[in-house]
Amino acid sequence: MRNLLSANFLRLRKSGLFWGLLGVMFTLGAAFTLQHFTHWLKWGARFYLTIDLLTYALLLGFGMAAFIPLFFGAEYSDRSIRNKLITGCSRLSIYLSHLITSVAVALCAAAAYVLPVLAVGLFIYEPPAIDMGTLLLLLLGSFALLAAYCALYTFVTMNCSRKSTAAVICLLGMLALYLAAGNIEIPLMHPEYLNWVVTETGETIPGEPNPRYVGGTARVVLETIQDLLPTGQSLQYMRADVAHPVRLPLYSLIDIAAFTATGAALFRRKDVK
Amino acid sequence: MEYVLTTQGLSKRYKDFKALDNLTMRVPKGSIYGFVGRNGAGKTTLIRLICGLQSPTSGTYALYGVDRTQRDIAKVRRRMGAVVETPSIYLDLTAQDNLKEQFRVLGVPSDDGIPELLKLVGLEDTGKKKARNFSLGMKQRLGIAVALAGDPDFLVLDEPVNGLDPQGIIDIRELILKLNRERNITVLISSHILDELSRLATHYGFIDSGRMVKELSARELEAACRKCLRVEVTDTRALARVLDGMGVDYKILDDGQADVFAQVNISQLSRALDGEGCELLSAQERDESLESYFVNLVGGGSHD
């Protein structure tokens, strides 16, 4: 496994795709921050640091959907995966080495994004509205989410012999998951009451109930689906507004275990040409 | 005799198509084993199986006596290298980086052996040129260099000269001979270019429709293909006495037929046989090439 990781990282260092991904993430981080910086200069608008900090959780959902099939799919298109199998590398170690390398790439790309946000943003942004402990938990949770994305795309890439097909499946799959999470989120965003009434004693009480509010079991089900979906988690991390910050990394771990166990089992039986 | 590869009743089925059918073969250590068959005969399927790229439907194989199901098979695979169909190289890397990559996979601690390997395959001057810009022959040679990265003693080459120009074919042939003679590497080559194989192989395996039709050494094949006179007589014992007396090499095929491996005077032979009370019924000159031997063996029907 160590040898395979060493080989993967060697290839990564020579890969234009890898450096391109880092460049794009850095540029996006810088662009978002500069946009807010401009607003601050013009209108004195102040933003919380968390406004852009965790946006990579969504961006890399798409970024890794392109990177993993193109980078590791080359093992099939260039047929170099044979060199590993012929010389006795186990299929499980090949699979896991690709997953670990992907996670390392995702973390590097997240760092490339966060770097300009922190470098500039620390001077112009308000401190986060959440405490440091929660922020740290969100950061760790977002890393687990990136690993879940990597596990999903590694599953597809390792079991699809065509690089371009794998890339299309991953990107379209990500888009579908993103739309699904967006559609699930809409009913969950409706407030329970249309308004709040202040009584003569100064007490605030709920006013008219919102007919579009989803409550009870339906809400629990939708929230669970939203938390389980990587894209549902991405939307929550992006806003730094996470209802269940402890539960989400656990769901990501479940996603990682499920994708990896299934993907590795299928890859083990796969006929390589 | 020690065998590098043995297969027993190996079969591979893809849905309804049986690519390999109960195939049994043995590749002797130190040999250049020519694996001959038409397109679609099952050559590449066998190579994919022994390289661990695919699993057999039934049957088994052993590398250096280690069965594919044994734990040690991974260790034994380190002793083999292969180029299956097209070379397996990263097209966006240079020749040197491709070898570095394979050295990492194999856990070779130092890159010192890379220049020697590049020189061996004649790619020492490729510099920063990416493999995608290589000619087919260069790619093929780089594929062989990658296969040699682990210093294997068993090399599997699937159609190594397919699509190469005449000079490329000569280069690959010389490289294979050099590896076999100087490094004592056992080579399994699959090909349907029989003329090319006949310049290399020390052993042959003929495959048709997924079955091994015949396995024999180059010497046996040479004897089978030797220019000879096939004679039909009434008494082969008398014929043997006469031919022994003439000091001629021959082979008795059955009670009435024999192959005589020399230019003999028919009238003289006939008279001598007559003296032994044996009649010469017919004599036919035979000159079989590897090609005609193969066609006779597997039949000459049309195939894709």
pLDDT, one tens digit per residue, over A99-123 is 999 999 999 999 999 998 888 777 7
How does residue A62 score in pLDDT terms, banded at 50, 70 and 90?
very high
d(CA A73, CA A76): 5
Q: Which single residue is written with the structure tokens 């397919």?
A: B162
Same domain, B210 and B262: no
| Residue B79 CB burial class (10 angstroms; 0-12, 13-18, ≥19) | middle
Do B195 and B233 share a domain, yes or no?
Answer: no
Which whole number is the average pLDDT over A76-91?
89
Asked if the structure places residue B78 within a domain, the reply is yes
Residues of chain A with Cβ-Cβ distance to B86 below 8 Å are: 79
**How close does chain B come to A163, measured CA to CA in Å?**
14
State whether A87 and B97 contact (CB < 8 Å): no
Q: Indicate which of B91, B101, B111, B154 best probes the interface with A, i.e. most A CBs within 10 Å of its own CB.
A: B101
- Give the list of residues 6+ apart from residue A65 with CB closer than 8 angstroms, or none: A149, A153, A167, A170, A171, A173, A174
For residue A260, the tally of other CB atoms under 10 A from its CB is 21
Q: Which of A18, A83, A99, A60 is nearest to A267 (CA)?
A: A99
Model pTM score: 0.81
Average pLDDT of chain B to the nearest whole number:
86
Which residue's entry shows tokens 């309804």? B16
pLDDT of A233 higher than 80 = yes
The answer to whether the beta carbons of residues B147 and B102 sit under 8 Å apart is no
User: Which range among A39-53, B71-85, B213-227 shows the weakest confidence by mean pLDDT?
Assistant: A39-53
Confidence of residue B304 (pLDDT cuts 50, 70, 90): very low
Phi, psi angle pair for B51, to nearest 5°: -85, -5
Q: How far is CA B11 from the centre of its chain?
A: 20
Beta carbons of A3 and B105 less than 8 Å apart: yes
Kindly report, residue by residue over B66-122, the tens digit of the pLDDT: 998 888 888 899 889 998 888 889 999 999 999 999 999 998 888 888 998 898 888
**Cross-chain residue pair A84–B105, CB shorter than 8 Å:** yes
Q: B240 lies in a domain?
A: yes
The verdict on residue B49 lying in a domain is yes
Is residue B277 in a domain? yes
A154 pLDDT higher than 90: yes
Are B16 and B155 in a shared domain?
A: yes
B291 within some domain:
no
Nearest residue to A110 via CA among A151, A141, A142: A142
Give the number of domains in chain A.
1
Residue A212 lies in a domain: no
Same domain, B184 and B55: yes
Question: In whole numbers, what is the pLDDT of chain A averaged over residues?
Answer: 87
* B128 Cβ neighbours under 8 A, 6+ residues apart: B94
Strand partners, B214: B206
Following CA atoms B192, B90, B182, B125 in sequence, which dihedral angle do they give, to the nearest 10 degrees?
Answer: 110
Chain B residue numbers with beta carbons less than 8 Å from the beta carbon of A89 are 74, 105
Helix (H, G, I), strand (E, B) or coil at B267: helix
Same domain? B264 vs B115 = no
- Asked if residues B290 and B221 have their Cβ atoms less than 8 Å apart, the reply is yes
Is A230 a domain residue?
A: no
Residues of B in contact with A161 (CB under 8 A): none
Q: What is the ipTM of this complex?
A: 0.79
Domain count across chain B: 2
Proportion of chain B above pLDDT 90, given as a percent: 26
Query: From residue B70, how far is each of B10, B54, B128, B205 by CA, in Å?
Result: 16, 16, 42, 26
Cα–Cα dist B84/B99, whole Å:
17
Position A46 pLDDT exceeds 90: no
Secondary structure class of B242 (helix, strand, coil): helix
Q: Which of A6, A85, A269 sits opposite B104 (nearest CB)?
A: A6
pLDDT digits 0-9 by tens, B133-158: 998 888 888 988 898 898 899 999 98
- Residues B37, B169, single domain; the answer is yes
B149 is a domain residue: yes
Q: Both B158 and B210 in a single domain?
A: yes
DSSP conformation class of B132? G
Q: Are residues B52 and B89 in the same domain?
A: yes
B88–A80 C-beta distance less than 8 A: yes
Q: Are residues B127 and B245 in the same domain?
A: no
On whether both B35 and B158 belong to a single domain, the answer is: yes
Query: Domain for residue A195, yes or no?
Result: no
Rounded average pLDDT over A138-166 = 92
- Contact predicate A31/A77, CB 8 Å: no
Please choose, from the candidates B185, B189, B118, B184, the residue with its C-alpha nearest in 3D space to the C-alpha of residue B156. Answer: B189
Give the pLDDT confidence score for residue B300 in this predicted structure: 57
Neighbours of B183 (CB within 10 A): 13
CA distances from A74 to A2, A15, A71, A78, B93 (A): 20, 11, 6, 5, 12
pLDDT, greater one: A263 or B169: A263
pLDDT at A245 over 90: no
Give the three-state DSSP class for A205: strand
* Cα gap A47→A263, rounded to integer Å: 42
Number of Cβ within 10 Å of residue A3's Cβ equals 18
Give the pair of three-digit tokens for residue B130: 């990416």
Q: Structural domain of residue B248, as residue ranges?
A: 228-286
Spatial CA neighbour of A146 closest among A86, A94, A103, A99: A103
Partner-chain contact A80 B89, CB within 8 Å: yes
Asked whether residue B297 is assigned to any structural domain, the reply reads no
Query: Which residues of B fall below an 8 Å CB-CB distance to A?
Result: 48, 51-55, 73-78, 80-82, 84, 86-93, 97, 100-102, 104-107, 146-147, 150
The minimum CA-CA distance between A90 and chain B, rounded to whole Å, is 8
Mean pLDDT, rounded, for B48-61: 91
Provide mean pLDDT across the span A199-206: 77
Residue A139 belongs to a domain: yes
pLDDT for position B1? 78
Tell me the nearest-neighbour CA distance from A88 into chain B, angstroms. Answer: 4
Q: Which domain holds residue A44?
A: 2-171+245-269
Q: State in Å, rounded, how far the first CA of chain A is from the last one.
A: 23
- The pairs formed by A11-16 with CB atoms below 8 angstroms and a separation of 24 or more are A11/B90, A11/B93, A11/B101, A12/A71, A12/A101, A12/A105, A14/B92, A14/B93, A14/B97, A15/A71, A15/B92, A16/B92
Closest CA–CA distance from residue A143 to any residue of chain B (Å) = 28
Residue B302 has a pLDDT of 44
Looking at residue A9, what is its pLDDT?
94
- Per-residue confidence (pLDDT) for residue B60, from 0 to 100: 93
Q: Which amino acid is at B286?
A: R
pLDDT digits (tens, 9 = 90+) for A163-188: 999 999 999 999 999 999 888 888 88
List the CATH number of the domain containing B277: 3.30.70.100
For the range A217-225, what are the long-range contacts, defined as Cβ-Cβ under 8 Å and sequence gap of 24 or more? A219/A188, A222/A184, A222/A187, A222/A188, A223/A188, A225/A184
Give the chain B residue whose CA is nearest to the CA of A8: B101
Domain presence at residue B256: yes
| H or E, element range at B250 | strand B250-252
Note whether residue A57 is domain-resident: yes
Q: Which of A4, A14, A86 sits opposite B97 (nearest CB)?
A: A14
pLDDT at B303: 43
* Chain center to CA of B171: 18
